Amino acid sequence: MPLTLANRLTIGRLLMVPFFIVAVLYYSPDNDYTRFIALGIFLAAVILDVLDGYVARKFDQETKAGAILDPLADKILLISAYICIYKVSVLFNTVRFPIWLVVAVISRDVILLLGFVVIHLFNGNISVNPTIWGKATVFFQILAVIGILMQWQLFSLFWYVILILVVISGIDYILKGIKELNSGANV
C-alpha cells in the first residue's frame, strides 16, 4: 500500500530531526546563525505536524502507521530539542532548560512509549488518541523550545507550568492506558 501524503509529511518531520540536532549542537556565540537554522528547521517540523494532521483528517488519510508515527515524531523532535539545547546552553551559559524539566519531559515520554509497547503486546492493538492535556503539554513544550532558540528570557514560572502539564498529561495517559489494558487483556 503506498504512503499517504499525511504519512509522507510525518516521515519528512522525522528526517528533519538529525538536521535540527546538528544545527543545535554546532551552536556557539561565534556561529550564532546555527541557532536560526535550528529554529527554522524546528518551525518547519511544527508546521508539517499541523499540516499532516489536517491532511489526514480532511482527506481521510488517517492510518495505523500515521497514528503511531505522528506522536513518535513529536516525541523524538521534542526529546532531541530538550537534550541538545540543555547540553549547548550549559556550555555557553545561555538561556536554558533546568535539568529537572529535561528529565521530567524525557521520563514522561519514555514511560508513555513503554506503556504503548506493553499494551500493544498484551492487547495486540492500541488506539492512540491525544488528550487535551497531551496537546497542551506539547504546545507549551514547543513554545519553550522556540523561546530558548530565540533567546527570550523566560520566567521560571513557565518551567513550572510545563512541569505541571507533563505530570497531569502523564498521569492522564497512564490511567487511560491501564483502562485499555484491563479492558482487552486476558492476563
Q: What is the CA radius of gyration of the chain?
A: 17
Mean residue pLDDT of the chain comes to 90
Q: Which domain holds residue 110?
A: 5-184
Q: List, for residues 14-55, the tens digit of each pLDDT value.
A: 999 999 999 999 998 888 899 999 999 999 999 999 999 999
CATH number (domain holding residue 78): 1.20.120.1760
Asked if 16 and 44 touch (Cβ cutoff 8 Å), the reply is: yes
| Number of separate domains in the chain | 1
pLDDT in tens, 11-21: 999 999 999 99
Q: Is residue 186 within 8 Å of 153, Cβ to Cβ?
A: no
Closest CA to 125 of 64, 74, 187, 179: 64
Helices 33-58/64-92 angle, 10° precision: 160
Hey, what's the cell of 44?
518547519
Distance CA 152, CA 149 (A): 8
Q: Tell me how far apart the alpha carbons of residues 167 and 162 are, in angstroms, rounded to a whole number.
A: 9
> E-assigned strands of 40-186?
none
Please state the pTM of the whole predicted model: 0.91
Grid cell of 43 as nine digits: 518551525
